[in-house]
């Protein structure tokens, strides 16, 4: 069986020796460093998820490439609408219970599509490389971090026009492969993965062709260095009562530097075909943002649950204004998930054999829920009250003398003990009033692309000219005097 348990996968990861720095110092062995423990918990849990009785029928799927079960969210190529819908349900559930579903299968699917299109246009062999890469990922049950976003330098100047553009570029080619240098930022999970998949993040011109490069590499390949940032609230990792989320898991972030890194040709997925570079962010903005709708639906579920629990321990759960706020949060979740499902329903098969959701609906749904992420924080403060900012620490409560005072002072709804109320308030506090809050906001606002990029895609796919034509018909402007929508230029109905 290709799927590894969490323990088996962590044992495998120990064979990887990435070059990692954290807080200005080289980390000699990340696998024994407690600052990486919470990230490894997520990595491990994402493997164990496929073995849980309630999930295994959906979380694992038979691969036609390797003829073995594989993890749906990690290495499976999405080839049907059903694949898309099942992925979305899993993503929402995991985001609610474990914060991040880490949908690596999206990256595999989009790379599959782009390499196919590149081969069709340029006569290259990248799709054969991609097929072998997918087979390796599936047979070995690998996870891959993503190196997509370049460090951009002066954003007003194109890459080729900057003297020292810091993004990844090809510096040398020979019969054996290519050599690359540059930096990719936002490489979530990076040090705790054996593989990094690298791709362009923008459209290119012919002058930018050296930056039009995609490939995969092992994270411990000579010349690769990762500068990692500790996950939020690491200083409180030994305080699970006060920081229940970050003590259980956290995601190490960072930047990945390539310094004359050699990549064999069989690991190259694009090299110089500048006119294809835009397809990488385009398909990313379609399939990944569809998943992000479900991810943020799960986060809305998480906030609704926390807010309701806090209201209950405070004794106000049944108050009408509290119910109104909770209902609004429920609606956020369902609208976001509905848009994700709508993107699947309106999706189409790509000629390469993978299924692509509808970009307009995926981006419109994600824009909606992203813009409401701040309301989650405001609602938790509103329902939790000032106590989530001013309450004593868990260590205060663990002092026997102080505990006697606090058991009386911080008591709430009589069906809960004071400790239970404090635990609920600490959970609310961690999501709304700590370093973890900024992390939560970052994942809500900028993960899977900034809101503005989503707006651009909505505008580019929405047929405004057709709607202007309808408005002209209503207004009696132009040649047509027929009933709106029934002129000769009327838009075909979906499915025609």
pLDDT tens per residue across span 231-249: 876 666 677 888 888 877 7
With bands split at pLDDT 50, 70 and 90, how would you rate the model's confidence at 496? very low
Question: Which pLDDT band, with edges at 50, 70 and 90, does 485 fall under?
Answer: low
> Residue 263 CB: number of other CB atoms within 10 A?
23
* Residue 413 placed within a domain: yes
Q: What's the confidence (pLDDT) of residue 157? A: 87
pLDDT in tens, 253-311: 889 999 999 999 999 999 999 999 999 999 999 999 999 999 999 999 999 999 999 99
In a domain, 264, yes or no: no
Confidence at 162, pLDDT banded by 50, 70, 90: confident
DSSP H/E element including 19: strand 19-22
pLDDT value of residue 256: 96
The answer to the question of residue 389 being in a domain is: yes
pLDDT at residue 23 greater than cutoff 80: yes
pLDDT at residue 482 greater than cutoff 60:
no
If you average pLDDT over every residue of the chain, what do you get? 90
> What local confidence, expressed as pLDDT, does residue 1 receive?
56
**Which pLDDT belongs to residue 34?**
87
Angle between helices 359-370 and 289-313 (to 10 degrees): 30
The b/e string for 90-109 (b: 16+ C-beta within 10 A; e otherwise) is bbbbbbbebbbbbbbbbbbb
- The answer to the question of residue 426 being in a domain is yes
Q: How far apart are CA 184 and CA 259, in angstroms?
A: 12
Contact between 251 and 231 (Cβ < 8 Å):
yes
Burial 40-67 (b: 16+ CB within 10 A, else e): bbbbbbbbbbbeeeebeeebbbebebbe
Number of domain units in the chain: 1
Picking from 358, 371, 375, 334, the residue whose alpha carbon sits closest to that of residue 452 is 371
Instruction: Select from 69, 44, 45 the least CA-distant residue to 57.
Output: 69
pLDDT computed for residue 495 by the predictor = 38
Strand ranges inside 278-429, DSSP E: 348-349, 355-356
Q: What is the pLDDT of residues 428-473, one digit of tens each?
A: 999 999 888 887 888 777 777 778 888 888 898 899 999 998 888 8
Task: State which of 149-153, 354-358, 393-397 shows the largest mean pLDDT.
Answer: 354-358
Residue 493, pLDDT score: 40
Q: Could you report the per-residue pLDDT of 79-116, keeping only the tens digit for each?
A: 999 999 999 999 999 889 888 878 889 999 999 999 99
Pairing between β-strand 144-147 and β-strand 195-198 as defined by DSSP bridges: parallel
User: How far is C-alpha 6 from the chain's CA centre?
Assistant: 20
pLDDT at 41: 87
> What share of the chain has pLDDT > 70, as a percent?
95
Mean pLDDT check: name the lowest of 49-58, 84-93, 153-162, 230-239.
230-239
Contact 67, 274 (CB under 8 A): no
pLDDT at 267: 98
Provide the pLDDT for residue 484.
Answer: 54
The answer to whether residue 341 sits within a structural domain is yes
pLDDT at position 328 over 90: yes
CATH of the domain at 418: 1.20.140.10
Point out the least confidently predicted range of 71-85, 215-229, 311-325, 447-461: 447-461
Which pTM does this prediction carry?
Answer: 0.90
Query: Does residue 481 surpass a pLDDT of 70?
Result: no
Residue 373 lies in a domain: yes
Q: Helix 359-370 to helix 320-345 angle, to the nearest 10 degrees?
A: 160
Residue whose C-alpha is closest to residue 419's, from 436, 384, 394, 451: 394
Half-sphere exposure of 494 (CA within 13 A, CB side): 6
| 197 has pLDDT over 90 | yes
H-state helical runs in 14-125: 37-48, 56-59, 72-75, 81-98, 104-122
In order of 26, 301, 316, 432, 474, the CA distances from 389 in angstroms are 36, 23, 19, 9, 56
Q: Which of 51, 31, 27, 49 has the alpha carbon at shortest distance from 39?
A: 31
pLDDT recorded at residue 297: 95
> What's the domain range around 424?
280-458
Q: Is residue 226 part of a domain?
A: no
494 confidence band (pLDDT: 50, 70, 90)? very low
- Residue 418 domain-assigned (yes or no): yes
Rounded-to-integer distance, Cα 226 and Cα 254, Å: 7
pLDDT score of 70 more than 50? yes
């Amino acid at each position: 069986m290709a799927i590894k348990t969490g323990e088996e996968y962590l044992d495998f990861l120990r064979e990887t020796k990435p070059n990692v720095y954290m807080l200005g110092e080289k980390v000699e062995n990340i696998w024994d460093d407690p600052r990486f423990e919470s990230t490894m918990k997520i990595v491990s849990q994402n493997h164990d998820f496929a073995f849980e009785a309630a999930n295994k029928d959906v979380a694992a799927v038979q691969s036609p490439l390797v003829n073995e079960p594989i993890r749906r969210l990690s290495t499976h190529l999405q080839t049907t609408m059903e694949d898309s819908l099942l992925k979305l349900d899993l993503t929402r559930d995991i985001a609610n219970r474990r914060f991040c579903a880490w949908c690596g299968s999206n990256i595999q699917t989009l790379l599959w599509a782009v390499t196919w299109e590149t081969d069709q246009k340029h006569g290259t062999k990248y799709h054969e490389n991609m097929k072998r890469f997918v087979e390796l990922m599936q047979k070995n049950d690998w996870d891959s971090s993503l190196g997509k976003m370049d460090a951009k330098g002066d954003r007003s100047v194109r890459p080729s026009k900057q003297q020292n553009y810091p993004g990844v570029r090809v510096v040398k080619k020979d019969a054996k492969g290519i050599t690359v240098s540059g930096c990719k930022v936002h490489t979530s999970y990076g040090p705790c993965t054996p593989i990094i998949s690298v791709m362009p993040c923008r459209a290119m011109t012919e002058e930018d062709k050296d930056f039009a490069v995609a490939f995969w590499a092992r994270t411990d390949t000579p010349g690769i260095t990762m500068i990692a940032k500790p996950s939020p609230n690491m200083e409180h990792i030994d305080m699970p009562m006060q920081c229940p989320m970050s003590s259980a898991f956290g995601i190490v972030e960072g930047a990945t530097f390539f310094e004359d890194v050699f990549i064999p040709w069989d690991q190259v997925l694009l090299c110089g075909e500048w006119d294809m570079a835009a397809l990488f962010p385009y398909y990313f903005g379609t399939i990944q943002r569809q998943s992000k709708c479900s991810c943020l639906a799960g986060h809305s579920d998480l906030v609704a649950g926390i807010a309701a629990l806090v209201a209950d321990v405070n004794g106000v759960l049944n108050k009408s204004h509290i119910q109104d706020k909770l209902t609004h949060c429920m609606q956020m979740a369902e609208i976001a998930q509905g848009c994700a499902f709508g993107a699947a329903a309106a999706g189409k098969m790509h000629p390469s054999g993978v299924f692509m959701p509808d970009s307009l609906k995926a981006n419109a749904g994600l824009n909606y829920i992203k813009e409401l992420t701040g309301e989650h924080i405001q609602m938790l403060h509103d329902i939790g009250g000032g106590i989530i900012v001013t309450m004593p620490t868990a260590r205060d409560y663990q002092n026997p003398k102080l505990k006697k005072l606090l058991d009386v002072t911080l008591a709430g709804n009589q069906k809960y003990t004071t400790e239970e109320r404090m635990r609920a308030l600490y959970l609310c506090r961690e999501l709304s009033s700590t370093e973890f809050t900024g992390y939560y906001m970052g994942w809500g606002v900028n993960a899977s692309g900034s809101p503005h990029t989503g707006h651009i895609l909505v505008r580019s796919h929405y047929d405004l000219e057709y709607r202007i034509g309808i408005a002209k018909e209503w207004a009696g402007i132009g040649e047509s005097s027929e009933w709106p929508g029934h002129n000769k230029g009327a838009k075909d109905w979906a499915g025609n």
